[in-house]
Amino acid sequence: MSRRSLLLSMALVAIFAAALIARVYPARYGYYLNEFDPYFDYYGASFIVDRYDAKGILGFADYFSWRDFKTWFPEGRDVAATSQVGLHFGGAVLYIIARDVFGVASSLYDFLVIFPAVFGALTVIPIFLIVRRLIGPSGAILASLIIAFSTPLITRGNLGWFKSEPFALFLALAGSYLFLTLYDSKMNSRRFIMTAITSGFLLGYANTAWGGSLYFTVVFGLLLLFSPFLAIDHRRTVFGGAIFVSIYLLSSAMFPRPGPSIITNPAGFALLGGLGFALLSYIIRVTVPAREYIRTLTKVIVAAGLFGLVIFSFGIVSDISGRYLTVIYPYSRSGNPLIESVAEHFIPTGSQFFTAYIALIPLAAFGSWMLFKRRDINSAFALTLGISAIYIASSFSRLLVFSSIAFAILAAVGFAEITSTVIRPSLILGGKKKSHVYQSRSDVKILYSIFMIGLLALPVIAPGATNAISGVDFPVSIANASTGVRGERSDWFEALAWMRTNTPPDAVIAAWWDYGYWITVMGNRTSLADNATINSTRIATIGRMFMSPENEGVEALRSLGADYVLVFVVGQKINQGAAGDIIVLGGGGDESKKQWFIRIGGLNIDDFLETDEFTPKASFWENTLLGKMWPFEPGSFIDQQGNLVAGQWEEGRTAVYSYSMKYLPDAGGPLRLAFASSSIMEDAPQGIFTGVLIYKVVTDEEASGSSP
């Protein structure tokens, strides 16, 4: 191995290690799955492993007939038809291989906690390989480094994030690199076919692991569409593209999601359309005189456009869902309060882009300009992916992961182009007086190096809470009770442990849908709704139940078959000296989501909340089940100077409350307090509380005393 290759290898290993460390940083707060969806994905993978252990490989088939009745009571959930099946099988099969082939002594849970961090870190390798084809190893190393410390990628691929993005992005980028290698002139026929098959399979399988991977379907559709205008071997495009697209669609269709509908999906139609255009262009190129090529190709484009309109007019291509339509046209929001309530669907702000890509924006702009001057397949891929990714990232915060990939590729090209100009070897011209052309002075090279290193390192070394290290130094959701607290909170662990051991195995727990997966998987009890949001009517019913008067709300609980109802409230207990303790609400619990209970339930928000859409009115405390379940009574207000004041709510005032636990176990009523977590108890110390309260729904028989 040459010294250069050794240094590059060492650098790449160091970057991978840094990427892994950044992604496992939350382990300092506890080794858990993160957020909500990963718990159900672990649940699905666990089912597959259990069936494999019981029946061998034939047990895999049970997954596709599995209807889970611990979720979405009473109808249950068709898991295969409503899940990212590729992710479940990917995690399960890799665990089985690690356990049975390599003897890894780990539980499935522990394996899947580290799974996303490893695949997120491994993504630096396909990025390196893609960018090396574009600009060489120096730019490729920078692109890998950007991916290693990209905050959007880390936050959606860190410890415990056994969700779609880390695994699917690794597969999609690896498949993309293999597709680009089809244009290597030294590749023999056998390797060419195998590479096309592998590339198509990886990208197709990525679709089964994450619906967002359909974005790559559009990228390759556009790339094939542009291919006739590039200076490439068009024969490779036709034959390699045909194999690639066939395997791609077959791999995507092998699981229920996306299933065979991928062919009539607009993204699949774009891919097939791009291949069809490339094929027609190749036929024209080899059959008509060169001087007639452009004219004939123009006619084909017009005819293809008309044909596409006919296809869409007759409904052969399926409609674009509201979520994907918003991606295409970011200013077209769905208007559905359920969709709008999800944080990952929020529109990213300009400050988010600037914070995440502060040093990369000018480099990416310059890199794009340099790529526009080329006509090779690698540059076309980089531009297609880069420009489209930055565009679609403006629609949903979740899609910032694509803009991170785009900026990594484009900024690396810009950096390498500028650096090669500044630090260019001297060109000495002959003659009596030898002169140096395009030579930068040594001090300029040194200053440039220092400046560029400082600029690129700024997101990591910036002081305070704005740097990348501070961004990854955050607990997984269950460790801090799904709040903004940077520390461990035990309340949800207490609640779920109590649920497992103190409620009947067939108990049904009602709660806002955010907590459904935790209840089902960690609490081992049946839930009414969860984060899959597959039944918006049920979620609206739960929202109305919480915001209804006591009698109506309890009757709704009974009609839903709920045995218990759970609420989660976050706030802070503050000692005011002689005034005693006061309570301030806010921090990520139901108190911060109640406006969505109202909107999704189809109710009028002005009936319950002040104009800030946060502070409850008196009617909330008096006339809603949720208000009666919270252990607080409304009191006075804190003004902008921090003084306690009485009177009515005004803009700038913060409501404060006193402690008053309701529905006590020994009191009569339609609900009875069964559990309250430690931080919300009256004798809990001052500070932040993340209280989980579980109430028993009292039946008519229990209320009359005829049943225990």
Q: What is the pLDDT of residues 169-209, one digit of tens each?
A: 999 999 999 999 999 988 999 999 999 999 999 999 999 99
pLDDT in tens, 382-413: 999 999 988 888 777 778 889 999 999 999 99
pLDDT computed for residue 184 by the predictor: 92
Note the pLDDT tens digit of each residue in 75-132. Answer: 999 999 999 999 999 999 999 999 999 999 999 999 999 999 999 999 999 999 999 9
The answer to which of 164-178, 498-512, 617-631, 694-708 has the lowest mean pLDDT is 694-708
The per-residue pLDDT for range 222-249, each reduced to its tens digit, is 999 999 888 898 999 999 999 999 999 9
Region 498-521: mean pLDDT is 96
CB 333 within 8 A of CB 402: no
Residue of 104, 95, 108, 120 lying closest to 24 (CA atoms): 120
* Domain ranges, ordered by start, for the chain: 3-418, 491-704
Q: What is the pTM of this model?
A: 0.90
- Strand partners of residue 658: 633
Strand 564-575 to strand 581-585: parallel, antiparallel, or no bridges (unpaired)?
antiparallel
Quote the CA–CA distance of 367 and 419 in Å, as a whole number: 12
Q: Which residues contact 445 (CB under 8 A, 6 or more apart)?
A: 422, 423
Strand partners, 427: 437
Q: Mean pLDDT, the chain, as a whole number?
A: 87
State the pairing for strand pair 508-510/564-575: parallel
